[in-house]
Amino acid sequence: MRHDRVGARALPREVPARHAEALATAPPLGLLRSAGARFALIFAGTFVTAAIAFTAVLWWGTAGALDRQTDAAVRADALALSERWRDGGVSAVVEGIEDRLAADIENHAIYMLQAPDGRRVAGNLNQWPVAADAPGAWAYTTVQREGQPAEARLHDIVLEGGFRLLIGRDIDEKTRLRQLLGEGVAWSFGAAITFAIIGAWLMRGMLASRLRPAFATAASIAGGDLSHRVPLTGRHDEFDLLAATMNTMLDRIDRLMSGVRGVSDAIAHDLRTPIARARAKLEDALATAPDEAALKLAVEQGIADLDAISRVFQALLRIAEAEAGARRRAFAPFDLAPVLADAADIYGAAAEARGQVLDTRIPERLEIVGDRDLLLQAVANLLDNAVKFAPPDGHVLLAATLRPDGGAEVVVEDDGPGLAPADRARAGERFFRADAARTTPGSGLGLSLVQAVAHLHGGSLALGDAKPGRESPGLRVTLGLGPA
C-alpha cells in the first residue's frame, strides 16, 4: 500500500521533468511547423510578389509602350492614306507614299500599294508578305528589305476598286531593345529572389535568436528551477515586452509558490504537535479509562482538540492567502470606521467582563480600499491579545487616524506586561509565542495574520511600548495601511 502511494506520487513529478528535457533540447521542428520558417516564407513570398508587380509595371511601361507607339503610327498613317484615296484616288496615294518614304530618314517605314491584278503600284516592298495576306489583318512577320530580312509590324487595308494598301514599320531595333529589357528584367528578378531567400533566412534566424532566451527560461522553469528570468535586451521592443510580462508572471508564481511552501512547512512542523497530543490523549483514554463517563469525556476533549486544530489550519490558510495576495480580489472601497466600532463593540463586552475599560478614538469616517473581513479579523486579533494581556483593571485603547497620504493607521494599546524588544522582531513569525505568554491560551498565529494583512494592504506592522519607562510598559501595536 505504502509502496503504491510512493509510486503514484513519483509519476507526476517525472512527467514534467521529461517535458522540460524535451523543451531544453529543443527538437528540430518541421520546416512547415516552425513559425520562424513560416514568417520567412511569407516574407519571401511578399518580396517576390512585389518584384513581379514592379517588373510587370515596368514592362508594360517600356516594351508595351514601344509596341503601342508603332501601332498608333501605323493606324494614323492608314487613316491619312485612306483619306487621300477618297480625295484623289491612286495618284494621290502614290504621291503620299513617296512623300512619306522620302521623309523617312531612319528607313523604318514600309509601304506597298497593290493594284487589283496583283501588280505593285508603289512602295518599298517587292512582294506582298504571306502573313499579312488578309483584308484588315495586323501581323508581325519577317519581310525582305533590300535583300535583308527584317522584323516588321504590318497592317493590310483594302481600298475601293480592289486596291490594297500595306502599311508597316520595321521594328528590328525595337525588338533588340525589348530583348535587352527582357534580359535586364530576368537578371533583376533573379537578384530579387536571391535577396528574398537571404532575407527570409536572416529573419528566421533573428526570430529564433530573440526567442531562444525566453525558450531556455521557460524550459528551466518547467524543469523546476523557478529562479530563472528572461534576460531583457533593453531595446524596449515587442520581445522585451513579452519577456518583461513573462518575468512579472514568474515573480508572481514564485511568490505564490513560496506562500504554499510556507504553509506546508508550517503544517508539517507545527500541526503535528497538536495532532500528536490529541491522538495521545485519545489513545490513553482508550487504554486506561476506568468507565464510560471518562471515555466520553476523553472523546469530547478529542473533538475539542480537533476543532482547535482546524481553527489553526483555517488561520494558516488565511495568512497564506493574505501573503500570496490572492485575497486582493476581495478588495473594495469601504468605511473602516464602523468596522472598528463593531470590533470595539464585540470585544468591549469581553473587556468589561474582565473589569477592563476599552476606549476608542475613531474618526467619523475612514474611507479605505481593502478587505473588510480580513481587516476586522486583524483588529479582532489585536483586541483579543490586548484584552488577554491587560491586567484585570487595565485599559485597552483602539484608535485610528487617516494619514495625509491617504493611508490609514490603526493603533491598539494595552497596559499589560508588553513585549521585550528582542521578541518584537519575531512576533510576526508563525507560531511564535513569547516565553511570558506560554501559559495564556493562543496559537501564536494572531500577529502573523495581522502582519500578513498589513502587507496585503501595502502597509506594515509596528510594535512598541505603550507607556515607555513604566514597570509594565504595555504594548502598542500600529497597523499601517497603505493608500489605495
Partner 1 sequence: MRILLVEDDVEVARFVRKGLQEAGHTVEHAPNGRDGLFLAASEQFDMMVLDRMLPGGVDGVRLVETLRTQGNKTPVLFLSALSAVDERVKGLKAGGDDYLVKPFAFAELLARVEALGRRPASDAPATKLRVADLELDLLSRTVTRAGKRIDVQPREFRLLEHLMRHAGQVVTRTMLLEKVWDYHFDPQTNVIDVHVSRLRQKLDRGFDRPLIHTVRNAGYLIRAEP
- Grid coordinates representing 80 are 491619312
Smallest separation (angstroms) from partner 1 to the CB of 376: 5
Number of chain residues interacting with partner 1 (CB under 8 A) = 34
Residue with Cβ nearer partner 1 (253 or 332)? 332
Q: Count CB atoms within 10 A of the CB of residue 263.
A: 19
Q: Count CB atoms within 10 A of the CB of residue 274.
A: 16
Residue with Cβ nearer partner 1 (51 or 375)? 375
- Grid coordinates representing 233 are 535586451
The helix, strand and coil proportions of the chain, stated in percent and rounded to the nearest 5, come to 60, 15, 25
- Grid coordinates representing 138 are 495586323
Smallest separation (angstroms) from partner 1 to the CB of 381: 7
User: How far is it, in rounded angstroms, from Cα 475 to Cα 281?
Assistant: 36
Q: Of residues 329, 333, 438, 469, which one binds partner 1 by CB under 8 A?
A: 329
- Grid coordinates representing 184 are 535586364
Residue with Cβ nearer partner 1 (418 or 446)? 446
- Residue 315 contacts partner 1 per CB under 8 A: yes
Task: Name the E strands within 24-175.
Answer: 109-114, 120-123, 138-145, 148-158, 164-170
Residue with Cβ nearer partner 1 (274 or 442)? 442
- Residue 323 contacts partner 1 per CB under 8 A: no
> What does the per-residue mask of binding to partner 1 show for 338-377, with x meaning CB under 8 A?
----x--xxx-xx-xx-----------------x-x--xx
Tally of residues, the chain: 484
Residue with Cβ nearer partner 1 (326 or 425)? 326
- Residue 311 contacts partner 1 per CB under 8 A: yes
Q: Of residues 65, 79, 158, 317, which one binds partner 1 by CB under 8 A?
A: 317
Q: Is 455 exposed, middle or buried (0-12, 13-18, 19+ CB in 10 A)?
A: middle
27 CB-side CA count, 13 A? 8
Q: Of residues 95, 225, 237, 307, which one binds partner 1 by CB under 8 A?
A: 307
Residue with Cβ nearer partner 1 (159 or 368)? 368
Q: Count CB atoms within 10 A of the CB of residue 392.
A: 7
Smallest separation (angstroms) from partner 1 to the CB of 342: 6
Backbone angles phi, psi at 154, to 5 degrees: -125, 145
Q: Of residues 24, 214, 289, 380, which one binds partner 1 by CB under 8 A?
A: 380
Smallest separation (angstroms) from partner 1 to the CB of 211: 37
Q: Of residues 70, 356, 381, 478, which one binds partner 1 by CB under 8 A?
A: 381
- Nearest 10 degrees: Cα torsion 188, 189, 193, 194: -30
Residues of this chain that bind partner 1 (CB under 8 A): 300, 303, 306-307, 310-311, 314-315, 317, 321, 326-327, 329-330, 342, 345-347, 349-350, 352-353, 371, 373, 376-377, 380-381, 384, 387-388, 441-442, 446
